[in-house]
Amino acid sequence: MIDITADFVGITTHGKGSHTHQISNLTSISNSQITTDESNNGSSGNNDSSVIPVSNVFNLNGNVHIFGYVDVDINDIKTWQSVKANTPISNGKTIEIQLDDRAIDYHFGKGQVICGHVNGQNLS
């Protein structure tokens, strides 16, 4: 089972309108498979990817790329459900979440990626 949640504060570009966001309930597009990077210990020229069972997701250098759906809350109020999300995790330490802009009414701006630090167990 994968449990990825994100809690963060948002603010306008003018420094006003502080509010919180919660991203939760990640469901991979295929309920049993996720694409991972098997980059041969970081050597250049080999960017092969493969599909592995979810239960084995974090055993290859901590790199994973999850395509799926998430729920997005504002101030703990469910605002959007089942939003497409493109979510790579690098070295089991950093995460990027790219949400379907149209599905969330461009709330974060066009093409804005949400970046953060992974805080969890058994990530690599």
Quick: pLDDT tens for 76-104. Answer: 999 999 999 998 888 888 999 999 999 99
Predicted local distance difference test score (pLDDT) of residue 73: 97
**What gap in Å lies between CA 25 and CA 44, rounded to an integer?**
35
**What gap in Å lies between CA 124 and CA 121, rounded to an integer?**
9
Q: Which candidate, 80, 41, 83, 32, places its Cα nearest to that of 62?
A: 41
Q: Is the pLDDT of residue 115 over 50?
A: yes
At 49, which amino acid appears?
S
Q: Domain coordinates of the chain in residue numbers?
A: 6-117
Residues 6+ apart with CB under 8 A from 33: 51, 52, 53, 54
**What gap in Å lies between CA 119 and CA 96, rounded to an integer?**
13
Predicted local distance difference test score (pLDDT) of residue 97: 94
Contact between residue 41 and residue 93 where contact means Cβ atoms under 8 Å apart: no
Predicted local distance difference test score (pLDDT) of residue 85: 93
Predicted local distance difference test score (pLDDT) of residue 89: 87
Predicted local distance difference test score (pLDDT) of residue 49: 41
Predicted local distance difference test score (pLDDT) of residue 107: 92
Residue in the structure block whose two tokens are 């459900």: 81
pTM: 0.72
* More confident of the two residues 62 and 113: 113
**What gap in Å lies between CA 85 and CA 24, rounded to an integer?**
11
pLDDT digits (tens, 9 = 90+) for 23-67: 999 888 864 445 555 443 333 333 344 444 444 455 457 788 888
**What gap in Å lies between CA 59 and CA 53, rounded to an integer?**
11
